[in-house]
Amino acid sequence: MRKHLLNIFRFGIKELRILLGDKVMMILIAWVFSFGIYIDATSASVEVHNAPIAFVDQDRTTISRQLSSSFYPPRFKMSGLISSDEMDAGMDAGRYTFVVVIPSGFEKDIVSSKVADLQLNIDATRLTQAGIGAGYIQQIITKELADFLQTTEMKLPINIVTRMKYNPTLDSTWFGGIMAIINYITMISIMLSGAALIREREHGTLEHLLVLPVNATEIMLGKIWSMSFIVLVAVIFALLFVVKGILSVPLAGSLFLFLAGTSLILFATASMGIFMGTIARTMPQFGLILILTILPIMILSGAFTPFESMPQALQYLMYLLPNTHFVSFAQAVLYRDAGFAVVWIDMLWIFVIGMIFFLVTLAIFRRSLEKG
């Protein structure tokens, strides 16, 4: 037993030495876990941000001018007054997400206490802005009209007070920063371990190892622990210096718990990487397999779109991947300060799925070695 552990340890040290000598890879890792995360976090913004809005003002009165001047950044970007012909062309070309049409006689109707009609055109292909933005526009117009008529807002019998937990200002940086880390953990760990295996095969060193008194499990575990270690160090750096330091995202939960979970997911993803490196015979094949796997993982595991709203069948499918559980785990720990009592089930899932990946990979890896 001690012999095996020693071998695993030494293989890992060897991998680390080699990786540290690979400048391109090291620069890549350093880049994604610093600037990559910074850019991702700061570029995503609140959903309705600088939404282009334009007005077709057929009324040309005080009230219509007041309405059209009440939209300003950061939520909206006023793109000016346009004619009704320009409206269609502009919306077709995607220049405006919203166009408000104020018909002639609008002010007259308002003043004479009639209910005046307004038209709001919304580009419904812009899913993220359309719904939320329309709500904001409605509110702004209602308020402006009330101001104009100098009516005090009608007192409603029930008021709704919405409170956002865990991210009171709905700051996208919080979400973007953490999700970027999660994405890069997956991407880098799969790429590193898969490529390390293919490189060993191409250089002939894999074959060389097989005539030594070592076994496949040791080779694989050596790769897994060393690659996980590198990524783990990078994650600690990114969390403390980039996310917490520069982006000043408050990390609610226990860092220790998060890193424990990260180690589990790294075990799973590094196994996945070796799995792909084993079934791919050449680097182009590995490239295609990588894209085919990584893209769904990045987009569908809940870090990009709301997971619970996906089709049920797809949700079940995604539950088979450890990353889905990891996203849920990470959100619970980092945003909601959830403790082990809450997230143990996610961690168990990650471990179980990771273990299955590991064992299947080990079997295939062994067989591929025997075939030569």
Partner 1 sequence: MNIVARLKGVSHHYGDVVAIDNITLEIPAGSMVGFIGPDGVGKSTTMALISGVRKIQSGTIEVLDIDIENKKNRNSICSRIAYMPQGLGKNLYMSLSVYENIEFFARLFQQDKKERESRIELLLQSTGLLNFKDRPAGKLSGGMKQKLGLCCALIHDPDLLILDEPTTGVDPLSRKQFWTLIDHIRQNRSNMSVLVATAYMEEAEEFDHIIAMDDGEILFRGTPFELKEKTDTDNLDEAFIALLPEEKSRGHEKLVVPKYEDKNEDYAIVAEGLTKKFGDFIAVDSVSFKIRKGEIFGFLGSNGCGKTTTMKMLTGLLPQSEGEAWLFGKLANSGDIEIRNNVGYMTQAFSLYTELSVYQNLLLHAQLFHIPKEKIQKRIKEMLERFYLNDYRDVNASNLPLGIRQRLSLAVAVIHKPQMLILDEPTSGVDPISRDSFWKLLVDLARGDGVTIFISTHFMNEGERCDRISLMHQGKVLDSDTPKVLIEKKGKDTLEEAFIDYLEDATQEKIADTDIKLMEDSLHKHKEFSLRRLFGYSYRESLELVRDPIRLTFALVGMVFLLFIMSYGITLDVEDLKFSALDQDKTPQSRDYIQNISGSRYFVQESDLSSQEELDRRMKSGEIIVAVVIPPGFAKSLLRSESVDVAVWVNGAMPFRAETIKGYLTGMHYDYIKHLAKQTLGYVPTLSAANIEMRYRYNPDFKSLNAMVPAVIPMLLIFVPAILMALSVVREKEMGSIINFYATPVTKLEFLIGKQIPYVVVSMIGFFGLVALSVWLFDVPLKGSLALLSLAALLFVITTTGLGFLISSFAQTQIAALAATAILTLIPTINYSGLKDPVSSLEGVGAIIGTIFPVTYFINISRAIFSKNVDFSGVYPDMLALLIAIIVITLSSMMLLKQQEK
- Enumerate residues 6+ apart whose C-beta is below 8 A from 122: 97, 98, 130, 133, 134
Q: How far is the CB of 331 from partner 1 (least distance, A)?
A: 5
Q: How far is the CB of 57 from partner 1 (least distance, A)?
A: 14
Based on CB atoms, which residue is closest to partner 1, 28 or 232? 28
Q: How far is the CB of 361 from partner 1 (least distance, A)?
A: 20
Q: How far is the CB of 176 from partner 1 (least distance, A)?
A: 8
- Enumerate residues 6+ apart whose C-beta is below 8 A from 368: 278
Based on CB atoms, which residue is closest to partner 1, 78 or 355? 78
Q: How far is the CB of 359 from partner 1 (least distance, A)?
A: 19
Helical packing angle, 172-203 and 23-31, nearest 10°: 170
Q: How far is the CB of 236 from partner 1 (least distance, A)?
A: 21
d(CA 186, CA 182): 7
Based on CB atoms, which residue is closest to partner 1, 256 or 312? 312
CB-CB contact of 120 with 137 (8 Å): yes
CA-to-CA separations, 76 to 43, 140, 165, 313, in angstroms, rounded: 17, 11, 25, 38
Based on CB atoms, which residue is closest to partner 1, 125 or 256? 125
d(CA 143, CA 298): 41
CB-CB contact of 365 with 220 (8 Å): yes
Based on CB atoms, which residue is closest to partner 1, 29 or 266? 29
Quote the Cα angle for 92-94-97, to 5°. Answer: 105
Based on CB atoms, which residue is closest to partner 1, 256 or 284? 284
Based on CB atoms, which residue is closest to partner 1, 9 or 355? 9
Among 65, 52, 56, 146, CA closest to 100:
56
Count CB-CB contacts under 10 A for residue 295: 10
CB-CB contact of 290 with 284 (8 Å): no
Q: How far is the CB of 233 from partner 1 (least distance, A)?
A: 19
Count CB-CB contacts under 10 A for residue 252: 15
* Amino acid letter, residue 159: N
Q: How far is the CB of 80 from partner 1 (least distance, A)?
A: 14
- Enumerate residues 6+ apart whose C-beta is below 8 A from 275: 357, 360, 361, 364
Q: How far is the CB of 192 from partner 1 (least distance, A)?
A: 9
Token pair of 245, please?
């330091």
Based on CB atoms, which residue is closest to partner 1, 190 or 264? 190
Token pair of 222, please?
């050596």
Based on CB atoms, which residue is closest to partner 1, 100 or 266? 100
